[in-house]
Structure 1
Amino acid sequence: MGKQSGGPPLIPASFFGIVLGLAGLSNAWRAAHSTWGMPAVIAEGLFVIAAATWLLIVILYALKWAWAPAAAVQEAEHPVQCCFIGLAGVSTLLIAQGALVHSRPLAVALFILGAGFTLFYALWRTGLLWQGGRAPGTSTPVLYLPMVAGGFVSGTVAASLGWKEWGQLAFGAGFFTWLAVESVLLLRLYTAEPMPPALRPTLGIQLAPPAVGAVSYLTVGNGTPDLVVHLLIGYGLLQAMLLIRLSRWIAEQPFGPGYWAFTFGATALAGAMVHLAPADAGGAIATLAPVVFLLSNVVVVGIAIGTLALIVRGRLVPPATTPHRPFLR
């Protein structure tokens, strides 16, 4: 990690993506416990790790603003790195969701904090985006993070707390923003220059909207299988297969923390399918759910091991901070 002389590590906001992967895997294991009787201790252990990681990253990121405000502002003004800041609120919402089974007052406090930051940042950032002036090459799936991820996760947690109508409003905000942003991104992918290797891991985020949207839809709705959730899961499976097809091209960028972009969508897809499996006995969802659950574990564990290896070797470095340099290492 980058570090000023005598100061704390200057971590990038993209490190909040680690929390999304860990918390997402915890949720998938909670679904597996409910559906298949898998050990609950694994889900709760993963939540403890996710919560501890979230707390550490929150502290370090806050210290970055206090210790090196110029670097923090530069990140916030970067056309790609800026959107990762929205994950500070989304990760807080996920910790609120996980904490709900242990303490409702804590979950409510974290929800208010996370949802408040998510809404503020999404409005601020989107307001800048609507003013235009972006180079087409800077449009990547990170554009989903402030409002799409924020809307879906806010909706999920609000409904989990018993505020279903508020959750439905948040789901709607995330859903229609997803459709609009997806058209922009696909136009860029189809017609612009190929993504440079440093940006290619952001394509892992492409899996998240349909997968996280399916989880949110189940939570803000009646929680039972219907055409809409099957459509979302089907599109999520298509995105997963496309990412597998592109894996060698994406892997031209050496492994780094940016690969955590793949984990939130993978774990959300697994969680939604495991949740639906009992109502689909013998059907497509029930057949595929164990496979997707296993693969999501492989993805998160593999990326976690790779990240620990980078820490041991002292190579867990932050993104470059200049506007025209790659943001991932």
Structure 2
Amino acid sequence: MSSNRGRIPVAFFGIAVGALAFANLWRVAIRLWHLPAAIGGLMTVAALVVWIVILAAYGQKRLTHGAEARAEMQHPVQSSFAALGPVSSLLAAQLIEPYAHTPALALFGVAAVAQLALGVYLHGRLWQGGRKPELVTPAIYLPTVAPSFVAGTAAAAFGFHQLGGLLFGAGVLSWLAIESLILHRAAVHEPLPEALRPLLGVQLAPPVVGGVTYLSLSSGTPDLFALVLLGYGLYQAVLLLRLLPWIRQQAFTAGYWAFSFGVAALPTMALRMVERGATGPLEWAAPLLFIAANLIIGILVVKTLSLLVNGKLIPAAAAPAASSRSASDAPAASRIAQAG
């Protein structure tokens, strides 16, 4: 790697989240369609390795370049991605649970407390005001919506259904409030700069990640509310397809992993609904969504490995801006996109 490369950005936890969510998708597909179990094991191991490598690299950054990490945490956009550290750990706990229940439970406990503390801290900063409209992106879902949903799903997996319901409530109501803020910014202010457009991929995640949580906390044939969540997720997927030529004006960076969580969660929700007895269009839509997710994640992996081989995966070293004013310039926007 060339010497002018920086340290791993906190937003790289988005890669771990996408890989872990994709492994969970395969776990559900194997259970539903009796696919080769070895593939699921390979996906799980690969995802856990990615998570451990990113966790270790970011931990080293905190120890050896603490000032840079602290400055990143003060950035109004980049700091939101810190929430994906606990989110990835919650997803890892779910993957580990069938093999090592006690360590997985301990990991769940630590990650659940961390996501709550970090979410309250970052979301509280948003309530204090002063953020410029150009810095309102779907990344603001990450401190509250994503951790609450994933923690709710994990809580259900460990048998804490009442806790899961509380977390689901925090996630769904935060999602509805925050989405109105994002849509207002998109409608009445200047378009997102090219460098930040891949962050729109986050927009797909809330309805389907929340849908997976809802299915984890309920039983029986999926009801109307499950269909409502899936329907909105499908609509978001179609909307992103319509916007894809506009988004792709930004050359590929690791920031495109913003799509991965929603891309993996959408078919996961559909498969779990079929597993629970849903019939009709969902029965043929589920395999199509599964195939599409494999293609999209495969493209992300290939392009990311290409950046890695060419020494371009980690953005060039630069001190992250801590203020809204400096973060709104084009170079800062480019760094955010490369990072996350």
* RMSD, matched Cα: 1.5
- Structure 1 contact 32–38 (Cα < 8 Å) conserved: yes
- Match for 2:206: what amino acid? P
* Alignment gaps of 5+ in structure 1: none
- Structure 1 contact 156–167 (Cα < 8 Å) conserved: yes
- Residues 120-142 of structure 1 show CA distances to partners (whole Å, capped at 9, x for unaligned) of 10000111110101001100001
**1:72, distance to aligned residue in structure 2 (A):** 0.7
Q: Give distance in 2, aligned partners of 1:243 and 1:152.
A: 22
What is the percent sequence identity of the aligned residues? 43
**1:221, distance to aligned residue in structure 2 (A):** 1.7
- Structure 2 contact 13–85 (Cα < 8 Å) conserved: yes
Q: Secondary structure at the match of 2:191?
A: coil
Q: Hey, what does 1:16 align to over in structure 2?
A: 13
Q: Hey, what does 2:269 align to over in structure 1?
A: 272
Q: Give distance in 1, aligned partners of 2:61 and 2:3.
A: 10
Larger RCO (CA under 8 A, 6+ residues apart): 2
- Match for 2:61: what amino acid? K
**1:224, distance to aligned residue in structure 2 (A):** 3.2
Of the structure 1 ranges 32-41 and 258-267, higher mean CA displacement relative to structure 2 is found in 32-41
**1:24, distance to aligned residue in structure 2 (A):** 1.0
Q: Hey, what does 2:205 align to over in structure 1?
A: 208
Q: Secondary structure at the match of 2:143?
A: helix
Instruction: Tell me whether 1:302 sits opposite 2:299 in the alignment.
Output: yes
Instruction: Tell me whether 1:113 sits opposite 2:122 in the alignment.
Output: no
* Alignment gaps of 5+ in structure 2: 322-326
- Residues 252-286 of structure 1 show CA distances to partners (whole Å, capped at 9, x for unaligned) of 111011111101111111111011124123x1211
Q: Hey, what does 2:27 align to over in structure 1?
A: 30
- Match for 1:142: what amino acid? A
Pick from 327, 330, 337 the counterpart of residue 328 of structure 1.
337
Q: Secondary structure at the match of 2:288?
A: helix
Please report the TM-score for the alignment, with normalisation by the length of structure 1: 0.96
Q: Secondary structure at the match of 1:162?
A: coil
Q: Give distance in 2, aligned partners of 1:242 and 1:176.
A: 22
- Match for 2:225: what amino acid? V
- Residues 99-154 of structure 1 show CA distances to partners (whole Å, capped at 9, x for unaligned) of 01111101101101211110010000111110101001100001111110000000
Q: Give distance in 1, aligned partners of 2:135 and 2:303.
A: 27
- Match for 2:169: what amino acid? G
Q: Hey, what does 1:80 align to over in structure 2?
A: 77
Pick from 131, 150, 153 the counterpart of residue 153 of structure 1.
150
Equivalent pairs, count: 325
Q: Give distance in 1, aligned partners of 2:297 and 2:250.
A: 18
- Structure 1 contact 20–91 (Cα < 8 Å) conserved: yes
Pick from 98, 103, 111 the counterpart of residue 95 of structure 2.
98
- Structure 1 contact 2–317 (Cα < 8 Å) conserved: no
